[in-house]
Amino acid sequence: MALSTIFSALDLRDGFYQILMRESDIPLTVVSTPSGMLWEWLVMPQGLKNAPATFNRCVAHLLRSVRDFAPSYFDGVFIHSRAVDGKSEVEMHKEHLRRLFALMRKHKLYANLKKCIFGASEIPVLGCLVGKNGVRPDPGKVVSRPEIRPAAGLPWPEPD
């Protein structure tokens, strides 16, 4: 991402629910309702102990062929591009998006368009803003709290 100049961010909609359960594991997800009905999950439900790690590993595996320009972290996919071989940054970015969308279509992964960002100069990634000028803290997540003091009376530098 360091030399990239144009960015997009995709959010995979209902991430866990896009991963099918292994046939042999489906009976382990049975839920009994107050009416006595039994239901089994056919897709990975939220709340299973290994669900986050399984989901992250699965998405990384499915998108491995585009990880050079579209790394993923759980339900987030971050696309970054720059001008290469006479192609403008926008042309490269469109090409990268097309390749990613083709993979998503092939593997039936769906994005939440309300949370997607396309063709931006910087995008939010894990509480920071990543852009062509590097990484910086997201100003919306930085809070100055002068009333916070360290425990045990240790000195705390005062802000200027």
Please spell the DSSP secondary structure of the chain, one letter per residue.
-TT--EEEEEEBTTGGGGSBPPGGGGGGG-EE-TTS-EE--SBPPTT-TTHHHHHHHHHHHHTGGGTTT--EETTEEEEEE--BTTB-HHHHHHHHHHHHHHHHHHHT--B-GGG-EEEESEEEETTEEEETTEEEE-GGG----TT---GGG---PPP-
Residue 148: pLDDT above 60?
Answer: no
Domain boundaries, the chain: 6-139
Average pLDDT over residues 40-63: 91
**Of 25, 29, 78, 19, whose CA–CA distance to 54 is shortest?**
19
pLDDT at 15: 85
What's the CATH number of domain 6-139, 2.60.40.1180, 3.10.129.10, 3.30.70.270, 1.10.10.10? 3.30.70.270
> What's the pTM?
0.80
pLDDT at 46: 87
